[in-house]
Structure 1
Amino acid sequence: MTIPVDIANTIVDPKAYADGDRIDQAFARLRRESPLEVAQPDGFDPFWVVTRHADILEVERQNELFHNGDRATIVTTIEADQKVRAMMGGSPHLVRSLVQMDNPDHFAYRRVTQGSLLPQNLRSLEARIREIARSFIDRMAAQGDRCDFARDVAFLYPLHVIMEVLGVPEADEPRMLKLTQELFGSADPDLNRDGKVATNVNEGIDSLQSVIMDFMMYFNAMTEDRRASPREDLASIIANGKVNGEPMGHLEAMSYYIIAATAGHDTTSSTTAGAMWALAENPDQFARVKNDPSLIPGLVEESIRWVTPVKHFMRTATADAELAGRKIAKGDWLMLSYPSGNRDETVFEDPFSFRIDRTPNKHVAFGYGAHVCLGQHLARMEMRVLWEELLARVDSVELDGQPTRMTANFVCGPKAVPIRFKMR
């Protein structure tokens, strides 16, 4: 038995994620009727769809059995996979970051920056992050009583934080934001490089490759600079980092920069924008957290669960295995559906309600196990600090138009969140 083709097509359709309700309904049906089953959307190789929280954790904790890098790490058509492999000498990956690595490489490369991103080493950044948060809140206040919270605050604040940590000059931040949106929004005509929906695989892959090349040209120059004159920034750590006693390979180093310069802010931006959207639609939750700042960490966790900006990763079975009573064959491809895991009714009471006091809130939005998000502690700190500063000044908020989401099936969040507010 396989998943009905209409549902299979929905779970890979970027437009379904922009819709929100359509993708939620598709995953709810799968959890109910086919929680672990094979999908074969039109034009794709078959893959298992892992929809339940427990099964996602089971795959994530077995890194030797379920690899990241053996096949494409993001769901992709047969034709696109063939195109990428032809371009990349047989590799299914346009980049080779931590996301595309398995051990021993994954562990060795992760160690290069892991220490810098541990909570105890991030504490020294909090005062500066608070200063940055206040500057964006001041800008918001200067706009009067309305703004697009996504574009005016949520996109720009985490961008500025990570670029400062990375060592990218402020003047280059608009370029980094544009490249990030072109990379993750490649299916969205409002965001992608070509300003249109790709009509064939070649267009889409060529556009992505040109975005990646622009990133690489930028970071190649930065690498040369940091090797000649190291600074106290993440770029210097990457530029001079060694793996097994040797400098990183060029593709690996460039990929390291790219993931830091994209995922390092985009997912936090999406979560922050989604939190404001949810608070504007749930005035009772806004009032509670406004009146009780001790609920802010709960707001942060619930917004991460609610938005789940990374929609999936793919894994490949390295041997025959069993998962939830189903036989998985060596070489099988599995989609870990994080939004589905984060709406799993057996784990989250009333999962389609936004509840800032949800306890426990064991969401899987950051992944789990060896591949858990490297920047999760920085992301949490950024969001906590912003809400501490913003809720002290905003007295009310409501939507001022219909918010919209990006058209994307991999990394996706709000594209516009128009709000009206009263601020001190």
Structure 2
Amino acid sequence: MTTAPSGGRCPVSATQQVDLIDPDLYGGDGAHAAWRQLRRSAPVSWQPVRDIGYWSVVTHAEAARVLRDHDTFTSEQGTLLNLLGKGDPAGGQQMAVTDPPAHARLRGPLQQALSIKNVENDRERIRRTVVDLLQPLADGGPFDFATAMAALPMRVIGAMMALPEADWPRLIRLTHMCIAADDPEFQLAAGAQATLRAAHRELFAYFQDLVTQRRRTPGDDLISVLLTMELDGRRLSPGEIVSNCYSLLLGATVTTAQPPNAAMATLAGTPGFDDWAAHPDLLNSGVEESLRWASPTQHFMRHTTRDVEVRGVLIPAGAPVVVWLGSANRDEGVFADPDTFDIRRAPNKHLAFGVGAHYCIGHTVARVTLRVFFAELLARFTDFTLAGPPTRLRSNIIAGYAHLPITAKTRRTEGPRR
């Protein structure tokens, strides 16, 4: 067993010199090369950051263990590296940063509202949204696929939260300022931290106003569900409702937009999409592979509540632990030929939605949206070609694309809808 020296640190070997926090690492394949090396030589390792640092976990089994064991690895001190050393003021109030059993009481009513039955009832509206977003691709000219995909989750979750349609473009930009504050397209002149603070202030103020309005005229939307929820025998406070509105919106933005981008960047110019279109029975497995391949959320952070041994390494109580989902989803010990996009992959035990109590509450919405999206894309278009170099988002939070110019041809005979 490896034990950490005083202060919870251990020597940094040559395999650990790469800075996993550096957003520039995620502009290409650099992160996957670094993770691959760490999986082989240091699956649990100390990563120094200023005078703080964190423990890094890059393998599937260990990542799943950290995410499942909420008694040992708490979410309530923050779940993203931009909060390293700061704590999360929403801890214990926002569902994403609340541990069981309170987490389950917050989650239950929303889980019911987002059930497969309710989401399936919304399938036709989602289909019309997808068709509308893809319509410009039929012109044959360059089409920024990533820009269209950025609008997709907002059109879905925006309707489910009854957010005014006129606000959607502004909300798309604000959510990108939160998840890609280091990206020059979204960063304010004052820098990444100022960008993040400004986006948080504006989004929270927006939802405060909206919650006040919704109290006067409630409906059957997700915000109205939050207004009727109780925690420990009391209604949620305005701050708790606003915080969970923010979490719902941000989660949808991350999980839904990027799997189509990742699939397009990988399969355009290859026979991959035509193969998929010819095998409609592979729609679901292809969607799951797009989720594994994209791993839209790069990481989750937890903090240890006690001394704990993980893969022979002793991590002290109170230490931040970061699991890298993109690495876990390419773990050679779990996935055969993990660096190949395989629509026939089965089983596919990816962690794109996390695992355990904090499994993404919007996974049903994301899966239904992605199935509808790929069914329409494959039925309507072929001959996808990159029309220019893709532009990756500069972010260590989200694995994604800011721009992805493509061209395509309309299929002469549309395939059956799935």
Given the two structures, how large is their TM-score scaled by the length of structure 2? 0.91
| Aligned match for 2:65, one of 51, 58, 64 | 58
Aligned: 1:249 with 2:249 = no
Report the counterpart of residue 231 of structure 1 in structure 2. 219
Report the counterpart of residue 75 of structure 1 in structure 2. 81
**Is 2:261–2:404's contact at 8 Å kept on the other side of the alignment?**
yes
Report the counterpart of residue 42 of structure 2 in structure 1. 34
**Is 1:68–1:314's contact at 8 Å kept on the other side of the alignment?**
yes
In 1: Cα distance, 2:231 partner to 2:173 partner:
31
Which secondary structure does the structure 2 equivalent of 1:11 belong to?
Answer: coil
Correspondence 1:299-310 to 2 at 5 A = 299-310=286-297
Report the counterpart of residue 125 of structure 2 in structure 1. 128
Report the counterpart of residue 110 of structure 2 in structure 1. 113
In structure 2, stretches of 5+ residues that fail to align are 1-9, 412-418
**Is 1:117–1:377's contact at 8 Å kept on the other side of the alignment?**
yes
Aligned: 1:357 with 2:357 = no
| Aligned match for 1:273, one of 261, 281, 288 | 261
**Is 2:18–2:34's contact at 8 Å kept on the other side of the alignment?**
no
Correspondence 1:204-243 to 2 at 5 A = 204-243=192-231
Quick check: which one's helix share is greater?
1
Deviates further, 241-250 or 25-34: 241-250
Correspondence 1:361-376 to 2 at 5 A = 361-376=348-363
**Is 2:180–2:397's contact at 8 Å kept on the other side of the alignment?**
no
**Is 1:300–1:384's contact at 8 Å kept on the other side of the alignment?**
yes
In 2: Cα distance, 1:331 partner to 1:419 partner:
47
In 2: Cα distance, 1:44 partner to 1:185 partner:
24
Q: Tell me by how many angstroms 1:97 deviates.
A: 2.5
**Is 1:44–1:76's contact at 8 Å kept on the other side of the alignment?**
no
Report the counterpart of residue 173 of structure 1 in structure 2. 168
In 1: Cα distance, 2:196 partner to 2:338 partner:
35
After TM superposition, the runs of 4+ consecutive aligned structure 1 residues lying more than 6 A away are: none
**Is 2:392–2:400's contact at 8 Å kept on the other side of the alignment?**
yes
Which secondary structure does the structure 2 equivalent of 1:334 belong to?
Answer: strand
1:178-219 CA distance string (max 9 Å, x none): 111111111111112x157x2xxxxx4333222111112211
Q: Tell me by how many angstroms 1:99 deviates.
A: 2.0
Deviates further, 236-245 or 254-263: 236-245
In 2: Cα distance, 1:8 partner to 1:173 partner:
41
Task: Note closer, same or farther for the CA distance 1:10–1:117 as it changes in structure 2 (3 Å cut).
Answer: same
Task: Note closer, same or farther for the CA distance 1:113–1:348 as it changes in structure 2 (3 Å cut).
Answer: same
Q: Tell me by how many angstroms 1:286 deviates.
A: 1.3
| One-letter amino acid of the structure 2 residue matched with residue 149 of structure 1 | F
1:303-340 CA distance string (max 9 Å, x none): 11111111111111111222222222211221111111
In 2: Cα distance, 1:377 partner to 1:302 partner:
16
Report the counterpart of residue 21 of structure 2 in structure 1. 12
Aligned residues: 401
| One-letter amino acid of the structure 1 residue matched with residue 62 of structure 2 | D
1:255-309 CA distance string (max 9 Å, x none): 111111222133211122112112205x232121011122121221111111111
Q: Tell me by how many angstroms 1:104 deviates.
A: 3.0
Given the two structures, how large is their TM-score scaled by the length of structure 1? 0.90
Which secondary structure does the structure 2 equivalent of 1:327 belong to?
Answer: strand
In 2: Cα distance, 1:34 partner to 1:115 partner:
41
Deviates further, 266-275 or 354-363: 266-275
Report the counterpart of residue 401 of structure 2 in structure 1. 414
In 2: Cα distance, 1:413 partner to 1:133 partner:
19
Task: Note closer, same or farther for the CA distance 1:265–1:255 as it changes in structure 2 (3 Å cut).
Answer: same
Q: Tell me by how many angstroms 1:138 deviates.
A: 2.0
Report the counterpart of residue 3 of structure 2 in structure 1. none
Matched-pair identity in %: 32
| Aligned match for 2:251, one of 255, 263, 270 | 263
1:111-165 CA distance string (max 9 Å, x none): 2311111212222111211121122222332x433201111x2111221011001
Which secondary structure does the structure 2 equivalent of 1:12 belong to?
Answer: coil
Report the counterpart of residue 416 of structure 2 in structure 1. none
Q: Tell me by how many angstroms 1:62 deviates.
A: 1.0
In structure 1, stretches of 5+ residues that fail to align are 86-90, 199-203
Report the counterpart of residue 181 of structure 2 in structure 1. 186
Aligned: 1:159 with 2:154 = yes
Q: Tell me by how many angstroms 1:54 deviates.
A: 0.6
Which secondary structure does the structure 2 equivalent of 1:415 belong to?
Answer: strand
| One-letter amino acid of the structure 1 residue matched with residue 198 of structure 2 | S
In 1: Cα distance, 2:255 partner to 2:189 partner:
22
Q: Tell me by how many angstroms 1:8 deviates.
A: 4.7
In 1: Cα distance, 2:280 partner to 2:388 partner:
28
In 2: Cα distance, 1:115 partner to 1:304 partner:
23
In 1: Cα distance, 2:387 partner to 2:90 partner:
40
